[in-house]
Amino acid sequence: MNSAPLTKESGYEVGDLPEHSEKAFPLRKDFWQAMLYLLPSFVLFSVFVFYPMFRTIYLSFFLTDYDGMPSVFVGLENYAYIFTSDEFLKSLRATILFVLITVPAGVILALFLALIANEKLKGIGFFRTIFSSNMGMSVAASSVIWLFLFHPSLGALNQMLSTLGLSQVEWLLDPTWAIISVSVTTIWMNTGFAFLIILGGLQNIDEHLYENAGIQGAGYWYQLRRITLPMLSPTMFFIVTVSLINAFQTFGQVDILTQGGPAESTNLIVYSIYREAFVNYQFGTASAQAVILFGCILIVTILQFKFGEKKVHYQ
């Protein structure tokens, strides 16, 4: 499941709720009434978000038995263990490499598509539909399609290469190519969503800005640099954050395309947690890895809000 988009606003606007109900309804029982409306969310969040979060941190300090129950308190040893384990370090490196490939490439591709699809041309709706269609492709479906495209002998990619007289590539069997192949699949899958959001951002830009610029004879690139990109920065900020978080959560592509191989080169962190917990039944060390994943996402979010925000231009 994709993560729910984390928005720009989440940290901020909390304070400016409208003073709606003050007059209309009596204030007295308001608190308990509100709690009643919030109860379902609150119970569910407690059971499936807050409790497991703390439980994960707790488990990361223990060795666990075969039922996954904590047996021996080991303090920070699980962390010491994973950070000296070659496997986990490789997994971290692969994850960072994967994030550095997919996020910039995916966002730039989506921006390019949104820019060319934002022009007023005949039949533009058709192109927009095509560009956003990948949003409906599930992880499993996309991965299976690409698994076939990457097939060493039957796959379309190698067939194209041989038609062009080039040597074939071991897309999923060569450690260097495998991470690129998983990245390509991911970028292809995620363009639809990023495209739709950026296109929405482009359409929100006030047309008058362009009209004024057009009269003064500004060229396309000048307008892009001086009007479009600055006005689009809140949207870009949003989509970069969402893409970063999504990239850290990648699982399905790896499970279907490579199972983490070859030589651990695509063993992204969520896949590593999954294997440690549900194949090796090491809930303690798996939890320590999960805490690291949580930390990564927390850091990304904080950095985004701290530094990203300064470069963002708000209307």
Partner 1 sequence: MRMRKRITLYILLILSSIILFFPTVYALMVSFMNGREVLSGAVLPSSFSLDNYKKAFESLPLLSYLWNSLVISAAVMAGQLIVSSLAAFAFVFIKFKGRNALFFLFISTMMVPWEATMIPNFVTIQELGWINSYFGLTVPFFALAFGTFLLRQHFKTIPKELEEASQVAGLSRFQFFYKVVLPVSKTSLVTLGIYGFLTTWNMYLWPLLVTNDETVRTVQIALKQMQTKEVSTDWGVVMAGVIIVVIPTLLLLFGGQKQLQKGLTQGALK
| Near partner 1 in 15-34, by CB under 8 A | 15, 17-25, 27, 30-31, 33-34
**Contact at 8 Å (CB) between 232 and 201?**
yes
Please give the size of the binding site for partner 1, defined by CB under 8 A.
112
Radius of gyration of the chain (CA): 24
Number of C-beta neighbours around residue 267 at 10 A: 24
Q: Binder to partner 1 among 138, 176, 212, 280 (CB under 8 A)? A: 138
Cα dist from 297 to 3, 46, 89, 105, 263, whole Å: 11, 20, 17, 20, 26
23 versus 208: smaller Cβ distance to partner 1: 23
Note whether 313 and 230 are within 8 A (CB).
Answer: yes
Any idea how long the chain is? Answer: 315
Using CB under 8 A, which residues numbered 172 to 201 contact partner 1?
188, 191, 196-197, 199-201
Where does the chain show beta strands of DSSP type E? 62-64, 70-73
Residue 58 Cβ vs partner 1, minimum distance, rounded to whole Å: 9
d(CA 152, CA 168): 8
CB of 2 to partner 1, least distance (A): 6
Q: How far is the CB of 162 from partner 1 (least distance, A)?
A: 10
Binding span for partner 1 by CB under 8 A among 39-47, 79-87, 174-182, 207-215: 39-47
Q: Which is nearer to partner 1, 73 or 220 (CB)?
A: 220
- Beta carbon of residue 98, minimum distance to partner 1 (angstroms, whole number): 14
63 - beta bridge partners? 72
Residues 6+ apart with CB under 8 A from 184: 146
Out of 76, 100, 141, 166, point to the residue binding partner 1 (CB under 8 A): 141
Window 51 to 90, contacts with partner 1 (CB under 8 A): 51-53, 55-56, 59, 68
E strands within 47-98?
62-64, 70-73
Of the candidate spans 94-102, 127-135, 171-179, 210-218, the one that interacts with partner 1 by CB under 8 A turns out to be 127-135
Q: Kind and range of the H or E element at 67? A: none
The reply on whether position 301 binds partner 1 by CB under 8 A is: yes
Report the residue number, 191 or 265, with the smaller CB distance to partner 1.
191
Interface with partner 1 (CB under 8 A), residue from 72, 89, 130, 224: 130
Q: How far is the CB of 212 from partner 1 (least distance, A)?
A: 18
The residues in 267-286 that bind partner 1, with binding defined as CB under 8 A, are 270, 273-274, 277-278, 283, 286
Question: How many other CB atoms sit within 10 Å of the CB of residue 86?
Answer: 8
Whole-angstrom distance, CA of residue 256 vs CA of residue 236: 30
**Which of the stretches 43-51, 86-94, 97-105, 221-229 binds partner 1 when contact is defined by CB under 8 A?**
43-51
* Binders of partner 1 in range 206-225 (CB under 8 A): 220
List the interface residues with partner 1, window 94-123 (CB under 8 A). Answer: 112-113, 116-117, 119-121
By beta-carbon proximity to partner 1, the closer residue of 178 and 242 is 242
| 3-state SS record for 91-149 | HHHHHHHHHHHHHHHHHHHHHHHHHHHCCCCCCHHHHHHHHHHHHHCCHHHHHHHHHHH
Q: Torsion over CA of 130, 133, 134 and 137, rounded to 10 degrees?
A: -140
As measured in angstroms, the least distance from the Cβ of 163 to partner 1 is 10
Considering only 179, 244, 256, 266, the residue that binds partner 1 (CB under 8 A) is 256
